[in-house]
Amino acid sequence: MSSHRNLSIAEIWTELSGGLNLIYKTQDKVPPQRYMELYTLVFNFCTRANGEDPSHHQNRGGGRNRQPINPSTQGAEFIGSELYERLKEFISRFAAALLDTCKDKTGEELLEQYTKIWTKFQFSSTVVNGIFAYLNRHWIKRELDEGKPNVYEVYNLCVMTWKQVIFDELNNNITSAILNLITQERNGEMITTKLVSGVVNSYIELGINEMEENLAVYKQYFEKRFIEDTRNYYTQESIDFVQRNSVTEYLKKVENRINEERDRCELYLNNSTQDLLSKTLNEVLISQHLELLQSEFEALLLNKQDEDLGRLFNLCERVAGALDQLKVIFEEHIKKDGKLAIEKIATTATNDPKQYVTTILNVHHRFSKLVTEAFKHDTGFVQAMDKAFTAFINSNHVTQAVKNTSKSPELLARYCDLLLKKSGAKANPEEGEMEDMLSQVMIVFKYIEDKDVFQKFYSKMLAKRLVGDASASDEAESNMIAKLKQMCGFEYTAKLQRMFTDAGLSKDISDKFKRSHHNKEHSVDFSIMVLASSVWPFTQTQPFELPQVLSSSIDNFTRFYQEMHNGRKLAWLLNQCRGELTSSGFQRKYAFVASTQQMSVLMHFNKSLEYTLDTLSELLKMNKDQTIPLLQSIVKVELLKIKSGETDLDNVASGDTVLQLNTAFSNKKLKVDLSKTLMRGEVKRENEEVQKTVDDDRRLVIQAAIVRIMKMRKTLKHAQLMSEVLQQLSSRFQPKVPLVKKCIDILIDKEYIKRHQDDRDSYEYLA
C-alpha cells in the first residue's frame, strides 16, 4: 500500500470503505495492523485540508467545481462533514441490505434472523467507532458542542441508522413474535429465551438518541404492548381458574404466576418494567377478585390454614387498602375465639387462676405466631390482635359470671402469686424458666384495663409472701417489679419496691434482737418485721388476748425497738402473724402451723380439754361473731370437735356449746397447716376490701387529673374535659363516665372549679 499521506481523499475513502466492508460483512477479527491502517486513513482524511487534493477540483455527481481548500478550520470542518456523510451513506446502504434478509421471515424465524444480524452489526459498529475515534473527538465533538441537530458519535450514528432503516420497518412484527414466545412460555412451553433477551437488548440500545429518554424505544415499542398483552392474558386466565378451582388453589396459582413474572422480568426484560408489570398483575389477579379473596379469610382462620393465610396476606399486601377488611375480620375472629376458650373453662376458672391465665396465653400464642409468621408482624394486624385481646380479657364469661369486670386483674395477680411463692405452680423453676413465666404474665398484663386493681391485689399478695417468708426467689420478685415498672412507670411500683426495702431492714433488726435476747429464759423463737404503715396494705384488726409466752416476747421487742428509735410507735398486726406449735398429746408428735389467734385458742387447751364457746370468747377477749369462724377453722381439720357431734359450729353457735380437744386426732402429715383453712374465708372479704380501696383511690385519682387539666387549660368545655380525663387515665384504668361526672361535682363543691357563668356546659379553674 502506498503512503496514505500521498493518497487523495477519494482514494482514502476507497481504502476506508473496503475496510468497512470487511468489518461489517465478514465480521472477521481485524488484525491490529489493519486496524491501525484504517484508523490512519480516517486521520488522513480529516487532516487533508490543504487544498492540493485534486479530488477537490473534480465534479461530483455533475455538481459545481469545488474551490481549493486552504489549511484552515473551515477546510477541516468541510472534510469532517464529508467523511461523516460518506460513512452515514455507507451504513444506510448496508442496513438496507440487511433488511432484505428479514422481509420474508416471520415469527421465531424472524427473531432468529434479527438477533443474528443485530449482534453482528452491533459488534462491527463498536469496532468502527474505534476506527473513527479521531472524527468523534474533533469534528463530531464540535458539532455536538454547538448543538447541531442530527449529528451523532459514530457508534450512535450506526445504531440510529439501524433504527431508521431496519427497526422502523420490522418492529411491529418483531414485537408480536416476542409476545407470542412469552405467551408460549406462560402456557408451559419451552422457548429460546435468548431470542427474547437479544431483541429486548436491541430495543434498549436503540434508545441512545440523546434527544430521547434512554428507554424510550423499549417502552414505546415493546413495554406498552407487553403490559397490555399481560393484562389480557391474566384477566382471562384468572376468570377461568376461579370458576373451576377453590380459592386456596387460586391463591397458590397467583403466587406462582407473580413469581414467574418477576423471574421473567429479571431474566430477559429491563428492570424498569418490574413496577409496571407488578401493578398490572396486582390489578388483574388480586384487585379484580378481592371480594372473593376476602370472603375466604374467616374460613382460613377457622381451619387454621396458616400457609394459605400467609399467601392471602402477601397478595392483599400488594394492593392499597386490601388488608383493611382482613384486619376487621381478624379482630372479630380473635374476640370470638378468645371468648369461646374462656367459656369452656368458665365454671372452674373463676377459682383457678392458673387455668384462666394459661388459657389466655394459649390463645395468644396461636395468634401472635400467626401474626409473626403469616402476617409478617404487620402493624395493623398487631393492633387488631391487641384490640381483640383487650376486649375479651376484660369482658368474658368469667367476668360476667361474677358480674365483676375486675376479675381478670385479680386472677392474673393470683397467678403471679402461684408462680412467685414457694408452693408455686411449678416447683423450683430454673432461672430461665421463671423469666419466661414472668414474661408471659406481662403479655396478659398488657391487655388488662384495670391495672390499678391488679396493683392492689398484687400488693396484698406480695406483702403476704414477704411477711410469711414464702417467696420462691428474691430475684424473681425483683424481676417482676422491674417488668411492671418498665410498663407502668416508677409511681406504679414505688410501694412494691419499698416493701422489699422494709423486708431487708427487718431482717437486720430481727437478727439484732435475737442476739440481744438469746440468753433470756422462756423466750420463743421469735422473728419480726417492721413495716411502714403508709406502704403495706395491712390494717389492724380488733385486738385479742395473747398467751403470756407470746405477749412477753412482744413486750421485749417493743422495748428493744424504742431504745433504738425513741419516739416511734409500733402497732402490732397480729392478724398477719404465724407461728408453729408442737404437740405430744396425741399418738404421734405433730407440728401445727397456725395464725396467732389459732395459737391462742390451742394453748388454752393445755389447761383444759374442753371449753364452752362463751368461755373461749371471754379468754380471748373477742366477741362471739369473731370467735366462731376462728374456732370453725380448727374444727374443720378435726383438731377440735363439738361435743354434741355437729361438724359446723354455725349450726349450734349458742354460748354454752362445748368444744373439746380431739385427743384421737390423726393426720397423714406430721406438719399440719391450720392457717390455710382460716385464709380461705378471708378471700371474699379481701376482694371486697380491694374493691372498696380501688373505688376510693379512683375518686382521688380522677379528681387530681381534673384539677391538673383545668389548671393548665383554665377554661374547658364539658365534653373536652371528659375526653382528656379518660385519655390521661386509660393507662391505669377505664374510668366510668358517671364517676367522672360525680368527681366534677365534688370539685365544684370543694371550689376547685366552677361552671362558666355564660356557658353552663363549660368549667373554669379557680386559683
Neighbour-count burial for 666-678, b at 16+ CB within 10 Å, e otherwise: eeeeeebbbbebb
Query: What is the model's pLDDT at position 520?
Result: 62
Q: Residue 507 has which C-alpha cell?
A: 431482717
Query: What is the model's pLDDT at position 422?
Result: 84
Query: What is the model's pLDDT at position 61?
Result: 37
> HSE-up of 499 (CA within 13 Å, CB side)?
24
- How far apart CA 20 and CA 198 sit, in angstroms, is 24
The DSSP line for 119-155 is HHHHHHHHHHHHHTHHHIIIIIHHHHHTT-TT---HH
Eight-class DSSP state of 556: H
CA angle 738, 739, 740 (to 5 degrees): 90
Q: Phi-psi region for residue 2, left (φ > 0), alpha (ψ -120 to 50) or beta?
A: beta
- How far apart CA 243 and CA 264 sit, in angstroms, is 27
Query: Which long-range contacts (C-beta less than 8 Å, at least 24 apart) are formed by 740-747?
Result: 740/702, 740/706, 742/699, 743/699, 743/702, 743/703, 743/706, 744/706, 746/699, 746/703, 747/703, 747/706, 747/707
| 715-717: strand order across its sheet | 715-717, 762-765, 753-755
Q: Residue 257 has which C-alpha cell?
A: 404466576
Contact (Cβ atoms closer than 8 angstroms) between residue 346 and residue 399: no
Query: Cβ neighbours of residue 411 under 8 Å, at least 6 residues apart?
Result: 349, 353, 356, 357, 398
User: Which of 302, 372, 312 has its CA nearest to residue 337?
Assistant: 302
Q: Residue 435 has which C-alpha cell?
A: 423469666
* SS3 at position 673: strand
Q: Which residue is listed with cell 415499542?
A: 221
- How far apart CA 434 and CA 420 sit, in angstroms, is 9
Render pLDDT for 677-714 as a digit per residue (tens, 0 to 9): 776 556 667 777 787 888 888 889 899 998 999 889 88
User: Which of 606, 604, 607, 640 has its CA nearest to residue 620?
Assistant: 604
- How far apart CA 502 and CA 497 sit, in angstroms, is 9
User: Which residues, listed in sequence order, are joined to residue 579 by a DSSP beta bridge?
Assistant: 594
Query: What is the model's pLDDT at position 697?
Result: 86
Q: Residue 667 has which C-alpha cell?
A: 393426720
Contact (Cβ atoms closer than 8 angstroms) between residue 290 and residue 322: yes
Low-confidence ranges of the chain (pLDDT < 50): 1-2, 50-74, 210, 424-425
Element (H, E) at 627: helix 624-635
- Beta 658-661 vs 715-717: how paired, if at all? unpaired
Q: Residue 557 has which C-alpha cell?
A: 421487742
Query: Cβ neighbours of residue 484 under 8 Å, at least 6 residues apart?
Result: 442, 445, 458, 492, 493, 496
User: Which residues, listed in sequence order, are joined to residue 661 by a DSSP beta bridge?
Assistant: 640
Tell the burial category of 321 from Cβ atoms under 10 Å away from its Cβ (0-12, 13-18, 19+).
exposed
Query: What is the model's pLDDT at position 626?
Result: 84
User: Which residues, listed in sequence order, are joined to residue 26 by a DSSP beta bridge?
Assistant: none
Q: Residue 6 has which C-alpha cell?
A: 500521498
* SS3 at position 623: coil
> HSE-up of 285 (CA within 13 Å, CB side)?
27
Distance of CA 38 to CAs 4, 13, 55, 157, Å?
Answer: 10, 10, 20, 18
Which domains, and CATH codes, for the chain?
Answer: 4-58+70-212 (1.20.1310.10), 220-316 (1.20.1310.10), 324-506 (1.20.1310.10), 577-680 (3.30.230.130), 684-765 (1.10.10.10)
What is the 3 state secondary structure string of 32-60? HHHHHHHHHHHHHHHHCCCCCCHHHHCCC
pTM of the entire structure? Answer: 0.80
- How far apart CA 123 and CA 438 sit, in angstroms, is 71
Eight-class DSSP state of 565: S
The DSSP line for 294-313 is HHTHHHHHHTT-HHHHHHHH
Distance of CA 409 to CAs 134, 173, 444, 451, 688, Å?
Answer: 87, 75, 9, 7, 14
- Beta 590-595 vs 578-583: how paired, if at all? antiparallel
